[in-house]
A = this chain, B = another copy of it.
Amino acid sequence: MAIKLYGSPLSPPVRRVRLCLEEKGLDYEDITIDFSTGQNKKDPLISINPFGQVPGFEDGDLQLFESRAITRYIAHAYADKGTPLISDDPKKMAIIGLWLEIESLKFDIIARKLSYEILVNPLIGKAVDDALVEKGQAELAVVLDVYETRLANSKYLGGEDFSLADLHHIPIISNLMKTKVKALFEARPCVAAWAAMLLARPSWQKIIAA
């Protein structure tokens, strides 16, 4: 099998890549990296990703890491398979590209911290920092207001069709919906409807059922 995905089942960046592979209907080999035994700092992963993080990815002789670089590659290299996630038109792709940047630099930076603080800290015996959660929620509200305005005028972030820009949000939105941060989404009707559409996709349902 040509495509290999090195990861951890619950890692949001790994799930982002898995979602992309599922939307494209591609076969791939799943290789679990056990961080507890330091597999992330050993071969084969460390030769793929010198930072020792997941996901790692191989497609034949191509080795990649960084989830968003991997999904962009898949979307371009397998443009003719499964769900179209990008556009050939430079202006349409520019708008998808804008929302890809907003996801990474405005949404995820805050959302990931909230998800980690509220969901992971209790699992590893650390107290939740309520002040940090409050600050994160206030910052996320500003971002979601911009999303609400966008989604009032556009079915998806990148335009009328589902794209990579929407897909990148799914794993973290799924996490946040298990927390009180859900209220920030529910308070914004267009954001709430968009999040519900994303979470209902068969690709995501398959991943969480696995």
Q: Interface majority SS on A: helix, strand, loop or mixed?
A: helix
Question: Are B77 and A94 in contact, with the CB atoms below 8 A?
Answer: yes
Q: A104-B104, A104-B105, A105-B104 are in contact. Are A69 and B94 (CB under 8 A)?
A: yes
1/0 contact trace for A6-21 toward B, CB 8 Å? Answer: 0000000000000000
Question: Are B106 and A94 in contact, with the CB atoms below 8 A?
Answer: no
A66 located at the interface, meaning its Cβ lies under 8 Å from any Cβ of chain B in the complex:
yes
Question: Are A73 and B97 in contact, with the CB atoms below 8 A?
Answer: yes
Query: Which residues of A from 75 to 100 have beta carbons under 8 Å from B?
Result: 76-77, 90-91, 93-95, 97-98, 100
Report which residue of A51, A72, A77, A93 has the largest number of chain B beta carbons within 10 angstroms of its beta carbon: A72
A65 located at the interface, meaning its Cβ lies under 8 Å from any Cβ of chain B in the complex:
yes
- Which chain B residue shows the least CB distance to A72? B97
In the bound complex, residues from chain B placing their C-beta under 8 Å from that of A110 are: none
1/0 contact trace for A53-71 toward B, CB 8 Å? Answer: 0000000001011101100
- Which chain B residue shows the least CB distance to A67? B101
A133 located at the interface, meaning its Cβ lies under 8 Å from any Cβ of chain B in the complex:
no
Instruction: Give the docked Cα–Cα distance between A102 and B90 (Å).
Output: 24
Q: How far is the CB of A67 from chain B (nearest CB, A)?
A: 8
Question: Are B91 and A77 in contact, with the CB atoms below 8 A?
Answer: yes
In the bound complex, residues from chain B placing their C-beta under 8 Å from that of A106 are: 51
